[in-house]
Amino acid sequence: AAGAECPCPAAVLAEVIKAFGAPENAQRMEEARDNACNDMGKMLQFLLPVATQIQQDVIKAYGFSSDGEGVLKFARLIKSYESQDPEIASMSGKLKAMFLPPMTLPPHGAGTGGVAAS
């Protein structure tokens, strides 16, 4: 029944991204980010649980279990659509950028604000 529970991955993904933009969630993410101080280990410790929680709140309405497994299933579903649907690929990238730190920190003073393509 995989995939049957999710009528439209793009719609669910858009909901998740919108949830991250909600003021209370943005606040929670900001606090977690501050606690993590760009430390990868701390990112996983502070930021990931908050990001997971925000996703769970949205995707449980679409038939995903409201635990880590549900989020993993959702992530795999999105991944499977990325190659077929540029819109989903773009939104997926946007979502990841919200809770995954950039892999390389730019040198100080490089105010380009560019996002590395994955």
pLDDT in tens, 45-70: 999 899 999 999 999 999 999 888 99
Task: Tell me what pLDDT residue 8 has.
Answer: 84
pTM of the model: 0.75
pLDDT in tens, 72-102: 999 999 999 999 999 999 999 999 888 776 6
Whether the pLDDT of residue 5 is over 60: the answer is: no
Q: Which two tokens stand for residue 67?
A: 């635990």
Mean per-residue pLDDT over the chain, rounded: 83
Task: State the sign of the Cα–Cα–Cα–Cα dihedral 14, 18, 19, 20.
Answer: positive
Q: Which residues contact 17 (CB under 8 A, 6 or more apart)?
A: 91, 94, 95, 98
The one-letter code for the residue type at 20 is F
Q: Which residues contact 7 (CB under 8 A, 6 or more apart)?
A: 62
92 close to 13: Cβ distance less than 8 angstroms: yes
Domain ranges of the chain: 9-99
Q: How confident is the model at residue 106 (pLDDT cuts 50, 70, 90)?
A: low
DSSP 107: P
Task: Tell me what pLDDT residue 104 has.
Answer: 58
Task: State the sign of the Cα–Cα–Cα–Cα dihedral 7, 2, 14, 23.
Answer: positive
